[in-house]
Structure 1
Amino acid sequence: MDSNDFAKFLSRISSTPLRVLDTSIPNSKYIYLDLSYDNSNLEKIDASSSESLSRFVNSHIKLHHALVAFGGYNEIRSIYQRSNHFNINQETERNVHLGIDLWCGTNTPIYAPIDARVHSFKNNKNHGDYGPTIILKHVIKDVLFYTLYGHLSMDSILNLKVGQFFKKGDCIARLGDSDVNGDYPPHLHFQIIKDIESYTGDYPGVCSKNDLDFYLKNCPDPNLILKLA
């Protein structure tokens, strides 16, 4: 199945939005958040500080009377410049975001959007990395794919087992705070992966412009299933 067919397949899994947050939160309580280079408002804050960025995010949510801020797929961001994990050298700088971020409070429960088994999990400890991370494996109509959940709490992975089954709607994790989640305001990084390759408990959630074509084909827009906008 090529990338276009895979995208169409994902969009047709459900005619209604699939949820990784509480299903009672309507689309009207999600507000789009722009964290791209083009957002001049980010120049007014210290984006290297999780506290400063958190105030920016929370202010945006409050201003729009929302509960969750979302966005970020295929978004070029400057916030990763604070971490050497993304910037070994300028030619291969990783600054294009490959998932959707859902910004909400610490300990927010995360749910399986569809039936799944645990593929792998890991605490990715680099500064600016995912922190505790879970990858789920899905098979629908003989189509195999994966979803990644990053920036979780430590207890989300403590008693987890590879192969463990989660039914759609089961709580799989909770969001971590800046002490464990890579030093970010609390949020979920949610990503769809067609081919996990040889990764376990981790997969690039940010890539360089040089590799963008490959990753966009392998990691389609999560909004195909979340249907937030």
Structure 2
Amino acid sequence: MSTTNFAEFISECSKNFTPVIDTIFVKKDFEHIDLSHVSEELKEIKIPSSVILQGKIEEYLAKRKKKVAFGGYDEQRNLYERSVIFNDDKAAVNRNIHIGLDLWCAAGTAVIAPLDGTVHSFNDNLGFGNYGPTIILEHIIDERTFYTLYGHLSRPSIKNLVFGQIVEAGDKIAVLGSHKVNGDYAPHLHFQIIEDLQGFNGDYPGVVAAADLEFYLKNCPDPNLLLKIN
């Protein structure tokens, strides 16, 4: 890999569809979903609860005979209006643009490492609207270091982890948590690729303000460049 552009580098890290959730799901099982502020699926619901959103997603998949809904990169959402984590009365602007990839499927679904790496950090990011249990892996490919983040996991997923633990591509590293532990979202994996972790441990912004978007889109390229779901 000779490219210096991080997004191109990530795209070259895989050649074909690369699983990040249970390998029982194949490429044809995935369906893109729009959960933006102009989503047709959510237009009748101003700020959906986790239970309502889960029902909407399950209905959406059933109609299309699919099993996993995915999407959300560089997507402006109103989902975050319900949480003070993203809406600070003292802030000049609020955060509402999602910069990871969400894969919506059942709690308990296995999370798979897409690349070889090591456990960089992990944390239970508590709070309504937060990640809940989160893992960050560190990867070094062609002497280039970068990170992948896995949010909204189950609590047992981080119980026995060890810093520096070796992970191979295809290893099961976690399972998805329910709305009771994942920040009160419909069960899903938030998957994000990060070039500069900026000193964070077990956490990194996954939703950003429009004013900061240019930096984050470069630092966190579209995860589908690696996963190649479509």
- Spell out, residue by residue over 1:125-150, the C-alpha distance to the aligned partner (whole angstroms, 9 max, x if none): 12101000000000001010000000
Q: CA RMSD in A?
A: 1.5
Comparing 66-75 and 7-16, the one that deviates more: 7-16
Tell me if structure 1 keeps the 8 A contact 2:46–2:78. no
Tell me if structure 1 keeps the 8 A contact 2:111–2:172. yes
Counterpart in the other structure of 2:167: 166
Tell me if structure 2 keeps the 8 A contact 1:46–1:52. no
Percent of aligned positions that are identical = 49
Amino acid at match of 1:227: K
Counterpart in the other structure of 2:228: 227
Counterpart in the other structure of 2:23: 23
Residue 224 of structure 1 and its aligned partner are, at CA, apart by: 0.4
Comparing 13-22 and 57-66, the one that deviates more: 13-22
How far apart, CA to CA, are the structure 2 residues paired with 1:41 and 1:177?
A: 22
How far apart, CA to CA, are the structure 1 residues paired with 2:109 and 2:209?
A: 30
Tell me if structure 1 keeps the 8 A contact 2:115–2:169. yes
Tell me if structure 2 keeps the 8 A contact 1:134–1:157. yes
How far apart, CA to CA, are the structure 2 residues paired with 1:17 and 1:72?
A: 18
Counterpart in the other structure of 1:140: 141
- Spell out, residue by residue over 1:196-217, the C-alpha distance to the aligned partner (whole angstroms, 9 max, x if none): 0110000000000010011001
Distance 1:218 1:178, change over 3 A: same
How many corresponding residue pairs?
Answer: 228
Comparing 10-19 and 37-46, the one that deviates more: 37-46
How far apart, CA to CA, are the structure 2 residues paired with 1:97 and 1:41?
A: 17
TM-score by structure 1 length? 0.96
Counterpart in the other structure of 2:11: 11
How far apart, CA to CA, are the structure 2 residues paired with 1:122 and 1:11?
A: 28
Do residues 114 (structure 1) and 115 (structure 2) align?
yes
- Spell out, residue by residue over 1:81-126, the C-alpha distance to the aligned partner (whole angstroms, 9 max, x if none): 0001000036321000010000000100001101010000000012
How far apart, CA to CA, are the structure 2 residues paired with 1:24 and 1:177?
A: 20
For residue 168 of structure 1, give the secondary structure of its aligned residue in structure 2.
coil
Do residues 83 (structure 1) and 83 (structure 2) align?
yes
Residue 4 of structure 1 and its aligned partner are, at CA, apart by: 6.8
Tell me if structure 1 keeps the 8 A contact 2:47–2:81. no
Comparing 26-35 and 171-180, the one that deviates more: 26-35
Within 5 Å, give how 1:46-195 maps onto structure 2: 47-89=47-89, 91-195=92-196
How far apart, CA to CA, are the structure 2 residues paired with 1:130 and 1:21?
A: 17
